[in-house]
Structure 1
Amino acid sequence: MTDDMFSSRAKGGIARREALSPEERAAIARKGAAARWGVKATHKGNFQQELGIDVECYVLDDDGKTAVISQTGMGKVIGLSARGNAFPRFLATKAMSDAVGAELREKIENPLKFQWGTGGAEQPPATIHGFDATLLIDVCKAIIETEAKGTLPSRYGRVAMQAHIIVGASAKQGIRDLVYSLAGYNPTTEEIIAAFKLYVLEEAKKYEPEFPNELYVQWHRLYNLAVPERGKPWHFKYLTVNHVYFPLAKSNGKILDLLRATKAQGGDRQKKLFQFLNAIGARALRIQLGRILEMAESSANQQAYERKIVERFGGQQEFDFGINASSEPPPPSEQSQPGAPAS
């Protein structure tokens, strides 16, 4: 190639570059960078603080601004183990093979690979494997389809429950966001997170009752309470507030503010506490109920049970409802109200 030919080609390249719009130049630059280094993530988040599960998520710098959930996170969010290969292994099982079509299988077998981090000699960018977040909905639908056919093994019952919750909550969030867009309203980040948490709670309630009947059976036994013909004994209100709600709210450091609010506003204190608990999450409630039920079942009598409550949570008021207590609640007084937790 002669010098004149080289110069001519160089001038032609410069002319073509100058004819491009700034957006076209930026797109070409991104493609070139992706070819050299791979796609990069511009933002990173985690489900932990808002939804109580350690799942990493990212937004890529590609044209579609792809929302990504890490491969490990995909498994954890549907209730699988934290092992990195748990998600693809589950979908490769015989039970799931019929529901996972060719297109979905290809995406699962070819996860997205992208860079996260600023790079440099001391800390080079990390290569992350993940999946387009919308893939989670396709997977959940496949799980639900397998469950409906009766071919999903019973050991995956929790996975099926999670799939129902995710699909239901996401559908509600999607139609809400569509209406917002059509109406020209742009919700804040906090509003979006709060709405999704609410939808998750609504969906979760369909599959897991808040209070197991076994706990009520144990309270009847420990406090020697007669079973009423209808409803539950009034005593259960005090047990619920002091042994379930108070320790749980106290653990988040907000109980004193809550008590002041309920005292100032009046109304049903138990209802206020339940509303507060919803802000914490259904998962925290289930964990607390599991602890209380274990203590109740392993206690021979009321004294042993309350001793365990005090040792575990501290500052719990003891109750003397008496044998075959009246079905009428005691008159309101400072002594009959649930006590504040110890500082």
Structure 2
Amino acid sequence: MPGHRKHSQGGIARAEKLSPEERSAIASSAAKARWLEDTGEDDLPKATHRGEISIGDIKLPCAVLDNGQRVVSEFGITRVLGSRSGASKRLKKASEEDGALVPVFLAPPRLKPFISDEILNGPLKPVIYRDKQRRVVGYSAEALPAVCEIWLEARHANALQQQQLAKAQNAEILMRGLAHVGIVALVDEATGYQSERDRDELNKILSCYLADERLKWAKRFPDEFYKQIYRLKKWRWPNHGNRTPYVGKITNAIVYEKLPPGVMKELQSRNPTQEGTGRRKWKHHQFLSEDIGQPDLRDHLMQLIALMRISPDWPTFENHIKLAFPARGDQMFLDLES
């Protein structure tokens, strides 16, 4: 079949462009995958996010699995360290040695004194996963610094051959890059998993902070909270409890927007304004969980009231809030003066 012949020729052409050591890495990965299949362990994790880490001129493919593990492939590490060191037959034999399962990128015998069983059975324990239709042999992304350290220790001990020094140099470049940004963060950014991770964390916060069902109304805001607002604003305290609409905006700004990120947005979604009136049917605090959300609201109100008491006017109170809540205190309600 012409299409099949063209595809096969393309595969041959790509294979011919690979160095002997890169072909060795692919063969080693296939051998490990076959070894796993022989054990009957076919329930493999799957790559859900894929990307490429960039450190200087180095490009390292990476992935995040459906169990949340961040991985880099054996072939990828072999390639970024530099695939031209000769002795490819020896590397291939070492990497496929029964029981050893030494990665190709650490197969040179001169590295053996620097590789402990603890590292082999820990960070360098292979992770076999499925990437679409392919089985891939990878390693935990956090193993990469350990790999680089082995090469650098060997260089420091003058144990490397001249043609292996280039790999040690690439290992040093990688280590410098990783010193500035953690490998897990790099993988998350490269694969796009960061946004999903943030959503997962937000969901965890919301599930703890918000109630599954709306709670019955109960008085949560002490009268003093509102009286202090009026005092600091130099407004006359209403005799019949008809507070100015500005109080609602202020409450959102200094209370609900200071709760964990994402809570305010979810409250607005669960308790939208009614068409025509612009008012909300319920109070936001009725949607906070009794075990976490409500106590946190109460503690926050007590802190606010304490700051109000020591403030002679509204601008001073604003400054106190910025000092007390620096992480979220910069985006304030400074335009609410009437």
Higher RCO, Cα 8 Å, sep 6+: 2
Indicate the TM-score class for this superposition, using the shorter chain for normalisation: 0.3 to 0.5
* Structure number with larger C-alpha Rg: 2
Q: TM-score, normalised by structure 1?
A: 0.35
